[in-house]
Amino acid sequence: MNSERHKEDGPDTIRLLPWTGPEGKPCYVLGDGNGYVSRMADDIEGIQLGMAGDLLGHAAGLLADRKVTGPEIHFLARRLTESLREVKRVAESRGARLARVEAAPAVAHALDE
């Protein structure tokens, strides 16, 4: 375990994972951010963000084509919706972790006083 990172993150924290459970409910992991599940979540988030970028490029090309059909646009809209949902989840997860890291120095300072 990387003790320097553990000091930054503090005790075990809850992290929103980039996937959902069987019923579409959010999944979480409790840990210091260095475990197997956290590393796998980091990898999946990277893949999701990369795929979102690729999809945006594909969307731009498809929308520039005047001969695109309704079903093609519908398919594109569904993929963009899926991608946006994934990217939103990544942003929420990373934002929550960033807020904890930024709050940690303020809490430590308050405890010193």
Give the pLDDT confidence of 22-68 residue by residue, as tens digits. Answer: 999 999 999 988 999 999 999 999 999 999 999 999 999 999 999 99
Residue with tokens 């796998």: 40
Give the integer Cα–Cα distance in Å for 46 and 52.
10
Q: Which amino acid, 57?
A: G
Cα-to-chain-centroid distance, residue 21: 15
The predicted structure's pLDDT at residue 71: 97
* Residue pLDDT, tens place only, 75-85: 999 999 999 99
- Give dist(CA 75, CA 92) in Å, integer: 26
Return the amino acid letter for 90.
V
**Any alpha helices (H) in 1-113, and if so which ranges?**
3-9, 36-64, 70-112
Cα-based angle 42, 33, 49 (whole degrees, multiple of 5): 15
Q: Do 95 and 15 meet the contact criterion of CB atoms below 8 Å apart?
A: no
48: three-class secondary structure by DSSP: helix
Question: Rounded to two decimals, what is the model's pTM?
Answer: 0.74
Q: Which residue has the higher pLDDT, 100 or 5?
A: 100
Q: What is the CA radius of gyration of the chain?
A: 19
